[in-house]
Amino acid sequence: MTGKGGKQRTYGKRRSRTPRADHTFENWLNGFQVFMGVISAAYRKRTMHLIAYMAHVRRARELAGKSAALTYDEDFRRNASLLPSTRWDLRDQNYWMEHVGPYVEKKHQDSSKFAKAESKWRRQCWEYNRGGCTRPACKYIHECEKCLGNHPATVCFKGTQQLFRGGRGFSQQGGRGGHGPPFGAQGSCQ
């Protein structure tokens, strides 16, 4: 019997909590390797399936980060515990799109924004593209402003796509002698 402010007695062994391991990908990998060793010892044919599964989770980490990879793993294993016929070597598309997909799409959008921003800051030398740069140490890029080739825009044939309008040489209807122009030819060179 306890009075006011008295301690309540507990009978039996006291259960002390052991500190849990940090929720890191390296700890997951170590734990999964132990799991894989136990399963492989009992079911040799499942070894390749588990290795493929580990590759899926690693790929999820590369694409979407640690959090998405670990939640994909938790949901996949929870489903596999309920359905023994679950194939570990095949990626579960529902969980993949739920946990990894949004991050991949976001990364793709961010990288395309970065590419657009990078192209805005990519500055070609105007003097070079008009025929020749006279600066001794030019800070601008010496490349074609039309096709990004290694030549000035004044000699670029890709930027101007004019059709041949008569005269000798290749025509639009079939070329010289009934044969078409050679591969890559854009008109006539007279």
**95 with 55, same domain?**
yes
Does residue 65 belong to any structural domain of this protein? yes
**CA–CA dist 181, 172 (Å, integer):** 9
**91 with 127, same domain?**
no
- Render each residue's pLDDT in the chain as its tens digit; 190 residues: 555 666 666 666 666 667 777 778 889 999 999 999 999 999 999 999 999 999 999 999 988 888 889 999 999 999 999 998 889 999 988 888 888 888 776 665 555 555 544 554 467 888 888 888 888 888 888 888 777 778 888 888 765 544 444 445 444 444 444 444 444 444 444 4
Does residue 190 belong to any structural domain of this protein? no
Domain holding 143, by residue range, is 122-159
**59 with 86, same domain?**
yes
**CA–CA dist 128, 147 (Å, integer):** 14
**49 with 87, same domain?**
yes
79 closest CA partner among 99, 63, 65, 60 = 99
How much is the pTM?
0.48
